[in-house]
Amino acid sequence: MASSVCINHTDRTATARCHTCHKPLCADCALKGEAGTFCSVNCQDNYEKFMGQYEVRRRPGFFTKLKNLIVTLFALGLVAALVLFVGGKIMHWGWCMDLLKRLGL
């Protein structure tokens, strides 16, 4: 059973496996991180990058929500500008005319 022996120490029994490349590792070779056990920093980075991509794919709602928020704010801005213009130029509301004057319109 070659897989039960550490890749770096053929005389030691593997106690863990790299999360990324699945190489068998002994206690001294296993690099323990928050995400799991790895054979090298490189494998740990690859795994975290992979998980990062997975998170983004699993939660596409964040970008949709952000886009909706921007669209909503833009629409609110348009409505506010319209109210201000109509109120100041047509209805002659004092506060609207003041604001328009301040904006130089």
Binding positions for Zn ion, rule: CB under 5 A = 6, 8-9, 18, 20-21, 26, 29, 39, 43
Q: What's the sign of the alpha-carbon dihedral 9, 15, 19, 24? A: positive
Do the beta carbons of residue 45 and residue 31 sit within 8 Å?
Answer: no
CB of 23 to Zn ion, least distance (A): 5
39/84 with CB nearer Zn ion: 39
CB of 51 to Zn ion, least distance (A): 15
* Collapsed DSSP state (helix, strand, coil) of residue 25: strand
Q: Is 21 helix (H, G, I), strand (E, B) or coil?
A: coil
Q: Which residue has tokens 């790895």? A: 38
For residue 29, the minimal CB distance to Zn ion (Å) is 3
Q: Between 13 and 64, whose beta carbon lies closer to Zn ion?
A: 13
Nearer to Zn ion, 6 or 84 (CB): 6
